[in-house]
Every structure is written in C-alpha cells, then in structure tokens.
Chain A
Amino acid sequence: MAFLEISNIVKNFGGLVANNNVSFQIEQGEIIGLIGPNGAGKTTLFNCIVGYYKPDSGKVIFKEKDITGLRPFDTNRAGIGRTFQVMTVTTGMSVIENVMVGAFCRTDDRHTAQSEASEVLNFLGLESVKEYHLNELPIAMQRKVGLARTLATKPELLMLDEVASGLNRTETDELVLLLRRLNAEKGVTLILIEHIMEMVMSVSHRVIVLDYGEKIAEGLPGEIVKNEDVIKAYLGEKYAKSH
C-alpha cells in the first residue's frame, strides 16, 4: 500500500475543471515535484488533499486511511503539513509564538511547545529572529517561518506550495539543502509545487506534471525534461515541433 494514494480526483469550479481525474501514488521518503504551467490546478490539488476543498469525486488515502473531505486540521493531525504560496503577513505574534502554535498541535504543555519551537527554529537557522514579528522580516524569512510552524506540527508528509518563489540564487540553494536534510534526517516525505525548474529537477526523486487540470506526465526528472507533452505544455506547440 502506498503512503499517499490519490485516485481520480475531480474538482470543478462552476464550469471550470480545475482537477480532472488526477491519480498518483507516493511512497514514504520520496521527494516529489509537482509542476505545471500557471492555472494547471496544482494548488487546487493541494487543497483537495489537505481539505480546504472537498473534491467532487475521487479519493485520498493517507497511510491506509481514507482522508477524503476531512477538514484541514484533521489532515494535519493525521500527519500532513502544508505551507502557503502567499503568507499572510501578520503583526499579532512573534516568530517563536508562530512556531509554538504549530508545536501545540502535538502537546498541551507550554514549556514543551516552547522547547520544540526553539528546536525547529535552530534547525532552520531562524533563532536570531525569534523575537521579531513577521512584518519586520524580509519575504524569504517570512516563508521560512511559515515552513517552521508547519514543521513544528511534526508532519510525516510535507506539502510545500512554492516555497522558493521570490528567493535569490543563494537562498534557493540553501533551501534545497534544507529540504534534502529534512528528507534524510527526519524522514519527511515531500511534495513540492515549484516554478523554478532547476530547483525541482535537482531536488525531486520523481516529478508529476499537471496541465489544464490533468496529469500529463509522471517520471524521473531526466525523463520529464525530455517528455514531449511536457515541453508542449510549457513552451507551446510550435517550439516543440521546431526542436
């Protein structure tokens, strides 16, 4: 049995089909890149898995348990963490408090939550900014805090929605190292939605490609870059023919 099994997910918004019969399986410990042009339905698929949307049909099975249509807090408690593409910049809480909220997912004790939050902040190299508020930090840092608070809920499956967007080269490289460490040291399975091809191709074990809501390809990074459907989807029909 697969770690995460998505079968025939369909999600419509009015007349628009955002996800059409998407199916795939993921094994524990994998790093999966989920790519596709803008509007391909990647974030919608995330939301269907995590529970912000209820899919019109199809099933999500996580660790042999049917989690289709569960609310986000339930899927989180089941072990799925997710970060957001757009981080709401809030002024009400400091960085460590943000991360403590995540830690409170698995404990009721404030002191435990605090020490776990510090641990996560150390892991991500954020301990120096822990007393700052989010609006006082640069965007790259804010995203990292978003990642930190999700990590504090101790997910087994981590779904990252464009964590690298807006980061410069060095920051992206650091992030890649971090994700690899997360995968290797903590055994976290990762699914990333990403636009930066170089990054996805270098970090992912396998890549899944969506276009117009449908899965058009799935395979090793090396295969995906040569796949004609994928090239067509990204660069247009003409480009694919001329090459």
Chain B
Amino acid sequence: MEKLKDALDFRDFSRAEQVGFTIFSIFLLLFPWLGAGSFVKAVMIQFLLFSLFGMGWNTVGGYGGQVELGKAQYVGIGAYTVALTMVWWKIPFWVSMPMGILLAVGYSFMIGYPLFRLKGHYFAIATIATSLVLQDIFANWKLVGAAKGIELPIHDHPDFLYMQFKSDTYYYYFIMVLFYVAIFYMNWFRRSKLGYQLRMIKDDEDAAESLGIDTRWCKIKAYSIASAFVAVGGGFMAVYNLYIDPVSVMDLDLSIKIALMAMLGGAGSLWGPTIGAAFLVPLDRFLGSWLGGHGGLIGLDFMIYAMLIMVVSAYQPRGIWGIIEQFRRKGS
C-alpha cells in the first residue's frame, strides 16, 4: 500500500514537470483519435515500446551506472517464450508473458552472477558477448526455428487471450498501459532502498561498500529487474509483429538502441528514457525508410548512432535531461 502511494506520488517533481507529464498523458490517451495514419501509429507504438525498454535499462544502466549492452538477449527470451509456447501448446499470451519474465529473470541471475565480477569496460564487453552467444544459439537451433524464425498462428477473429487484434489501436493501448506500469514502477524505484544504493554505487563504489551495501548483489538485483522489463517488451513484440527471428529480437543493434535511448535522454532520471525514445525512434524510422531507397548508404544509421554515443558520453553523460537539470540548478 505504502509502495503504491509512493509509485503514484509525483509531488517532488517541479511544477513544469508535472504539467508536462499531464499534457503528455492526455496526448497519449487521445492519440488514436487524432487521425494519424498507420505509419505514425506504428512509430508511436515503437516509441512506447522503446521507452519501456529504456526504463528497464535505466535501473542497472542509469541509476546503477553499469554500461550494459546486452539487453537484446532478454527481449529475445521474452519474445521466444511467448511465440514458442503459443505455437507448440497454444498457451495464451497472459500466461506465456509471465513465463517469459520468469525465464528472463532466472537467466539474468545465472548470467549476472559471474558478469558482475567484472567492472567498467570489461563488464560492457561481456554483456555484449553473452547476448551474441545466445543469438547464435537461437540462429542455429532447429527446434526454435533457427535463423528462419517463428511465425505465430494468425487467428480469424480478434482474440484477447492471444492478443490478436485487427486494429493497431488495441496494441497501442496495451503498450500504453505497460508504459504507465513502467513509469509508476520507476517512480517508486527511484526512491526505494535499492534505487538509492544503486546511485551510491554509481557515484563511488568503495564508499558504497563502506556503507553496508553489497554492491555486487545490488547490481545483480537491478540487472534482473531490467531483464524483466525488456522481457515484457519482447513478449509484446512477438504478438504485435506475429513473426520473430534472432535478428529482429536479439540483435546487438537492438541492445545498443535500448542503451542509447536511455543515455541520450538522461540515464538515471525518470523521464530520460522516454525523452531519448522520442528523439531516436522517429529518427530511426526516418533513416530506415530513407536509407531503404539509397542502397549505397546502408550502415549510415549506425554511424549516426555511434556519433551520438560519443557526443553524449563526452559532453553530457547525463543526457538531454542532464542539460535541462543543469540549467535549472544554475537558475535557482
């Protein structure tokens, strides 16, 4: 009860933030009736999905300061669990999604335990490596469709149990609900014991240890929370796209985008991932369709992301939100 109150309590934010968030919420709620085309709708769904991913990453990567570049493997676990159990045993989405979360969390503890013996760059590289290994396993594993991937059976009628709808609007509202669950959770998380401890770890790990914080265990916990978040998003991707393969749900590209959204927007702030996604998802979509018509320029999008990573980490590690905060502190 106490936790729920904290999750819904936005009073410690400034007036401007509260008003902004309210307007944004009204916009999200009314968006399907604003007459946007299917392309824009798809971009909006992508935006909310990546905000969700980014908020997950933000626990360990933003608050905890651990540069984690392997979130795609958990997107994959979530997506594959939903897809495979639906194809094999016709298990409804509402059962398979929690299964996906459990698997992702279990797997994240297994991976996290050895992984968090490493620090800094070594940790970042190791997270990439584990994700690549899992992707390779799935790309060669016949039972789970190998590189061909899996198509989900399409039902004739809309089916809430299996999350199959004719119109994107339903998917939109579903991901919007997930987005708000994530926002409220993160609003609680940032003021929780674990949230404070992670920020201390990010600031000064030795000092954190001296204050009774089991730094490694804290990081593992945050890592598994992040994994649960992205597994939910993965499950959504499976029912929304109705087709998954190792490239679409487990690629390094996806891991980097997740981290980049949060970093660009503002790692370690509640709004950061959403702001980052609002910039990067449309950019990504635009580049994708534009480059599609210019065969020779494929790969340019990666160059742009790489530049963004460099600029953010060199000039403002706390991202767009960090810039805003800086101005505010100076102003007051």
Residues of A near any B CB (own CB < 8 A):
50, 52, 71-73, 76-77, 81-84, 88, 90, 92-93, 97-98, 100-102, 104-106, 108, 110, 113, 146, 149-150, 152-153
Residues of B near any A CB (own CB < 8 A):
6, 191-193, 196-197, 199-200, 202-204, 206-215, 268
Please name all residues of chain A whose beta carbon is closer than 8 Å to the beta carbon of B212 when the two chains form the complex: 73, 76-77, 102, 105-106, 153
Closest to B326 in A: A91
Bound state CA distance, A72 and B197, in angstroms?
Answer: 15
Closest to A99 in B: B211
Q: Is the CB of B193 within 8 A of A104?
A: yes
Question: Number of residue pairs across A and B with beta carbons under 8 Å?
Answer: 74
Q: Is the CB of B196 within 8 A of A84?
A: no
Given contacts A102-B211, A105-B211, contact A84 B203 (CB under 8 A): no
Q: In the complex, what's the smallest C-beta–C-beta distance from B148 to chain A, in angstroms?
A: 46
What 4 additional pairs, Cβ within 8 angstroms, besides A104-B193, A105-B212, A152-B211? A76-B209, A101-B196, A102-B212, A105-B213
Interface of B is mostly: helix
Q: Is the CB of B215 within 8 A of A73?
A: yes
Q: Is the CB of A93 within 8 A of B200?
A: yes
Bound state CA distance, A209 and B328, in angstroms?
Answer: 50
Bound state CA distance, A73 and B6, in angstroms?
Answer: 28
Among B206, B213, B268, which residue has the most Cβ atoms of chain A within 10 A? B213
Bound state CA distance, A50 and B192, in angstroms?
Answer: 27
Please name all residues of chain B whose beta carbon is closer than 8 Å to the beta carbon of A98 when the two chains form the complex: 200
Given contacts A88-B204, A90-B203, contact A104 B210 (CB under 8 A): no
Please name all residues of chain B whose beta carbon is closer than 8 Å to the beta carbon of A146 when the two chains form the complex: 207
Q: Is the CB of B210 within 8 A of A50?
A: yes
Q: In the complex, what's the smallest C-beta–C-beta distance from A11 to chain B, in angstroms?
A: 17
Please name all residues of chain A whose beta carbon is closer than 8 Å to the beta carbon of B200 when the two chains form the complex: 93, 98, 101
Q: Is the CB of B203 within 8 A of A153?
A: no
Given contacts A102-B211, A110-B191, contact A90 B197 (CB under 8 A): no
Q: Is the CB of A71 within 8 A of B209?
A: yes
Closest to B218 in A: A73
